[in-house]
Structure formats: structure tokens, C-alpha cells
Amino acid sequence: SNAGETQAQIEHEEAQSHQQDEVNTTIGEITAEMRREAIQKAKQAYTKAMMQGRAMHNIMAEDPERGLAMATEMVASMLGDAGGDLAAVSLASTTGPTTPRDEALMHSLNVCAISMVLGRDFGLSQDDLSSMGLGALLLSLGTETMEKLPSLPDNANEVITHCRKEPNGSGSSSDAKDSSQGVSAEIVSVVQTYDGLTNTNTTTTGTITPTDALSRLYKETTDERSREIVTALICSMTIYPPGSFVR
């Protein structure tokens, strides 16, 4: 009798184990499918942003006011759900440019998307995030085109001036560092340097891996605020790791 009960217990446990294995397999399949869907969604968002960026560049040369409106709309879209998808693709560095113009556009798009993700971490307001993102996106424009633009928000001007003058993220005045404009400019500068290290289109010495780029940035950054930004960028890599587009 005891032997029969023991055998029944064993068979019951084996059946439960088999059922759990089936459940785990199903969960794994669902997770894999969700990952594939997330990857596809992120790539589509990035492709759409690149198409919008090309159109913006084309219009900007002939109608700066309309081009600026398009750029502003792009940034507004990135501040919504699309921002995480774009940042994921940007951090993963998976899409290669096809033309010299696309190289500049891709760089500014990457910098814009990642900077706005970090800007949220630093408590920037929606207005500051928007103007910071606009400044970052417009970094792909030439000087002649920039001079034709209507007036920009102060925060956007600060980002453009700072990043074109000090691409390594140094050089802000002490007063600027304490303002939202100064924080925005430093965020974009750090991200600009990161993207330059990890993408062949913005460096002449070859690329390095995202992990090595972050390590190098952390070691070479001495300014306290910039070090905080690099640390936040490292944390973002755990949320949007290369090859993973899941938020």
C-alpha cells in the first residue's frame, strides 16, 4: 500500500513537472515573439524618423521656417512613445548610413533621442527636453542653413553653440552649468561624444564597442556634472542594451 502511494506521488510530481515545463516553454515562446515584435517596431520607428529627417533637410534649404516646423514635430514625436524605440536603436547602433548626408542625420538623430532619454533622468521640463532635442537634431545642418533659420529657443541655441564649440563636452561657464540650458548642453555634448566613438560615420580612428566607449568616457571625464551624465548613460545601456530593443 505504501509502495503504491509512493509511486502515485512520484507520477503526480512528474506530471506537475511536465506541465510546468510546458508552461515555461509557452512563456519563452511568447517572450521571444514579443522581443521580435519590439525589435521590428523599433526599427520601423527609426526608419520613419530617418525619412522625416531627410524630408526636413530637403525643405530646410528652401523654406527654413517650414523645415524648422518639421524638426519641431519630429522632436515632439520622440518625446512620446517613439522616443524609447529610437533611443534603443541608437544605443544598439544597428543601422548603417548609406550616404554622407545620412551620416550627419543619423548622428544627430541618435544624439537627439538618447539625450532626451537622459534629460528625463535629470528632471528637465517638457519644454527644456523639447528645445534640447531640437538643438541636437539641428546639429546635422550646415552653418549656412543654420544662419537662415528663424529664432530658436534659448536652450536650443545653447546646445548648438556649446556642442559646435566644445564637442568633447567641456567649456561651459560656471553660470551655464547651473542652469537647465547648461545641463542640456552638457548632456548633448556627452552623448555626441559617445555616438562619435561608437559609429564610424563620426570618427576617423575607427569605432569601439559601446561598453569600451562608456568606460573611456568615464575615465576621461573629470567634470562632476559630465561624470553624472556618463553614469546616467551607463544606466541607460542596461535598459536599452545593444541588440535588445525591449523597453
Q: What is the pLDDT of residues 217-240, one digit of tens each?
A: 888 888 888 889 999 888 877 655
Give the pLDDT mean for 29-37.
65
Give the pLDDT mean for 188-216.
78
User: Which secondary structure element, helix H or strand E, spans residue 81, and what is its range?
Assistant: none
As a whole number of angstroms, the distance between CA 239 and CA 247 comes to 7
| More confident of the two residues 134 and 85 | 134
pLDDT above 70 (res 246): no
CB atoms within 10 A of CB 122: 17
Give the pLDDT mean for 186-206.
78
Looking up cell 503504491 gives: 4
CB atoms within 10 A of CB 1: 5
Beta strands in 46-170 (DSSP E): none
pLDDT above 50 (res 160): yes
| Range from 90-94, 161-165, 169-173, 211-215 carrying the lowest mean pLDDT | 169-173
Q: Which residues contact 107 (CB under 8 A, 6 or more apart)?
A: 139, 140, 192, 195, 196, 199, 201, 202
Alpha-helical segments (H) within 142-209: 143-148, 154-165, 174-177, 180-198
Is 103 in contact with 201 (CB distance < 8 Å)?
Answer: yes
Give the pLDDT mean for 187-210.
77
For the chain, the average pLDDT equals 76
As a whole number of angstroms, the distance between CA 55 and CA 91 comes to 24
| % residues pLDDT > 70 (the chain) | 64
Grid coordinates given for 75: 522632436
- Give the global pTM: 0.74
Most confident of 31-45, 69-83, 94-108, 173-187: 69-83
Q: Which residues contact 237 (CB under 8 A, 6 or more apart)?
A: 91, 210, 211, 214
What is the model's pLDDT at position 78? 81
What is the model's pLDDT at position 205? 59
DSSP state of 123: T
Q: How confident is the model at residue 190 (pLDDT cuts 50, 70, 90)?
A: very high
What is the model's pLDDT at position 133? 93
What is the model's pLDDT at position 166? 55
DSSP state of 140: G
What is the model's pLDDT at position 72? 93
pLDDT above 70 (res 16): no
